[in-house]
């Protein structure tokens, strides 16, 4: 049985429009990660944009800048992981979990 190219094209266009809608929604969603017992917080959007970094003044020790750098890195990496997980989850809803290469 030969696939109907018109139907395939319509399905692809519908999926593309749905993916664009999900990407717009992701821009309005937030994930928050912290490190150092909450001394450093990173808020990131679902489209992987850092929105805010919050530092507890107690985390700012001029004699141990390396610790602050490590906490910022840890919080950023966790926020990025959460944002990627959120985006992958939302895109899987659109693609039916097909794992289409090149998407998120």
Q: Which CATH number fits domain 5-95: 3.30.2010.10, 3.30.1310.10, 3.40.30.10, 3.40.50.150?
A: 3.30.1310.10
pLDDT confidence of residue 48: 92
pLDDT confidence of residue 100: 54
What is the C-alpha to C-alpha distance for residues 19 and 11, in angstroms, rounded to an integer? 12
pLDDT by position in tens, the chain (length 104) = 566 888 888 888 888 888 889 889 999 999 999 999 999 999 999 999 999 999 999 999 999 999 999 999 999 999 999 999 999 998 888 877 655 555 44
- Gap between the terminal Cα atoms of the chain: 32
Q: What are the structural domain ranges in the chain?
A: 5-95
> How crowded is the C-beta side of 32, counted as CA atoms within 13 Å?
7
Q: State the alpha helices, DSSP H only, in the chain.
A: 5-27, 65-95
Question: Which strands, in side-by-side order, build the sheet including 50-55?
Answer: 30-35, 40-45, 50-55
pLDDT confidence of residue 15: 86
């Amino acid at each position: 049985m030969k696939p109907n190219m018109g139907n395939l094209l319509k399905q692809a266009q519908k999926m593309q429009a749905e993916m664009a809608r999900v990407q717009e929604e992701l821009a309005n969603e937030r994930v928050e990660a912290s490190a150092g017992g909450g001394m450093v917080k990173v808020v990131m959007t679902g489209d992987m944009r850092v929105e805010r970094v919050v530092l507890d003044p107690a985390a700012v020790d001029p004699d141990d800048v390396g610790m602050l750098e490590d906490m910022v890195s840890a919080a950023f990496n966790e926020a990025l992981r959460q944002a990627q997980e959120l985006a992958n989850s939302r895109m899987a809803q659109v693609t039916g979990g097909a794992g289409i290469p090149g998407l998120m």
